[in-house]
Amino acid sequence: MNRMMLKPRVCFSIGLLGCATVLGVGVYLQFVEELEPCPLCISQRLLFLATGLVFLLGTMHGRFSRFYAALSGLTALGGASVSARHVWLQHLPPEQVPECSPGIEYVFQHFPLADTLKLMLTGTGECAKVDWAFLGLAIPAWALIAFLGLSALSVLAFRQAKLD
């Protein structure tokens, strides 16, 4: 494969484009298809945003490619872990699904920050509901695939930066 195609900045640019695309699909599903995101969906969006910002910084800077590759890999793996939990919740038997919580706006206004963060990272009963699927996979499964792809892209950028 052509070495120019594997430059860290190219990897970062592809990752940034991927994050922007995923976030765009999320906005479309929320505002056009009127699918309300659950706490885990919001957490995944924030991790896509964080990963995209790291990719943006890696694209803009010509230096510190290994640092940006490692950081983007860590944020993508964090997103993959949240997505994996979401997929797991969706595959639980109905009697094992956690109780639903109040709306996310209410939680932000009335719950302590620690409880709100715990709720956003562990999920609730509404996170187990499958509202949309494509090719037999629900949104969290697609998010998991995307995060794993972004992690692989980060590894590729890290390895290529090591060769430079």
Task: Kindly list the structural domains of the chain, giving each domain's residue range(s) and its CATH number in brackets, ordered by start.
Answer: 3-163 (1.20.1550.10)
pLDDT at 35: 83
Residue 15: which pLDDT band, with cuts at 50, 70 and 90? very high
Mean pLDDT lowest among 69-83, 88-102, 123-137: 88-102
What SS3 class is residue 113? helix
Residue 119: which pLDDT band, with cuts at 50, 70 and 90? low
Q: What is the number of H-type helices and E-type strands within the chain?
A: 6, 2
Q: Has residue 1 got a pLDDT over 70?
A: no
Residues 140-158: what's their mean pLDDT? 94
Q: Map 23-37 to HEC letters.
A: HHHHHHHHHCCCCCC
Residue 80: which pLDDT band, with cuts at 50, 70 and 90? very high
The Cα angle at residue 152 between residues 149 and 156, in degrees rounded to 5 = 140
Residues 67-78: what's their mean pLDDT? 95
155 versus 117: the higher-pLDDT residue is 155
